[in-house]
Amino acid sequence: MSSQLHITNGDSFTQKLKSLQLKGDIITWREMLCEGKTETNVGSESFWKTRFEFLHKNYKVSKSWFVEKTLKEYRSLCNHKQQDQIILWFEYDLFCQVNMLAVLSWLKKHRRYAEIYLVCSGNEDQTDKLYGLNDLSDEYLLRMFDKKTKLSQNDIEYADYVWQLYCSDNPIRLENLMDYDSYQYDYLSDAIKSHLKRFPTIKNGLNEMENRILEMAIQEKPKSKKELLGNLIGSQGLYGFGDTQYERVISNLKPLFSSFNPVRVNSRGKSIVLSESNYYSQIRDSEVYLGGALKYNFLYNTETSRILKL
């Protein structure tokens, strides 16, 4: 009998997976590599040092929490050396897809002889709705497990290649990737497109998400910041962000709001949404990274869907 190891996208799904009583141990990948600086050498000392510095500075993550929640789980992964089948459980969104790439890059280097399988949720019925793993019934998840995708060596090499590009200092190289269809990642192409839209636009210096926050605040007039956050998360498309991530984006836009209870955008914010003025010089931060690239060293052209280097 082959032995199995499951690697999941987060704590809530880990609990659900435990209830399915599949064979094998479960490791939870507790990271959010879609935000902050990343390095190619997943799991190295410098990789974790860079990640802790970002999480501590931006999310007030303590060293003890980071060691207990992230590093202990990573060390547990390192200690699971005998399993010959490793099953990854991830979802369609940018948050999950970037974590998935990093895990596959690590597996390529450290588990060369294991069989790697992928269970990835998203488009599960005839509607346009995309499903997270926690949205699905136990019976459906067991069927997905039975039909899990075995990744070839080429699939794994490709994921590692995309990870190297994500961690490079030039997102234009990611933009030029065209051969997603040759590999077994149904949602990676759209996730990368969403990533590129996180660079500031030429039209007003804000990226797609920042523009959407202002537009939603103007059009829907939420009664509170909590309502705004709920609306954003409920209609966020392919980002897969949580409350704390949106809180951080909104805090960077604070000068463009006159009030958060109720939520109101001031005249300056409205002129920026209309592209009558540009907010690039005010929001620019020379220490903000998206993957390996400095966010404000590039601009996104919404008309051509292309990245430009400044």
pLDDT tens track for 111-132: 999 999 999 999 999 999 999 9
Q: Which of 121, 189, 110, 94 is nearest to 156 (CA)?
A: 110
Per-residue buried b or exposed e for 189-199, using 16+ beta carbons within 10 Å of the residue's own CB: bbbbebbbbbb
Whether residue 189 is predicted with pLDDT greater than 70 in this model: the reply is: yes
pLDDT value at residue 237: 85
Token duo for residue 242: 């949580």
pLDDT tens track for 32-82: 999 999 999 999 999 999 999 999 999 999 999 999 999 999 999 999 999
pLDDT value at residue 236: 84
CA angle 301, 304, 308 (to 5 degrees): 40
Whether residue 1 is predicted with pLDDT greater than 80 in this model: the reply is: no
Amino acid at 206: L
Under 8 Å between Cβ of 166 and 291: yes
pLDDT tens track for 127-165: 999 999 999 999 999 999 999 999 999 999 999 999 999
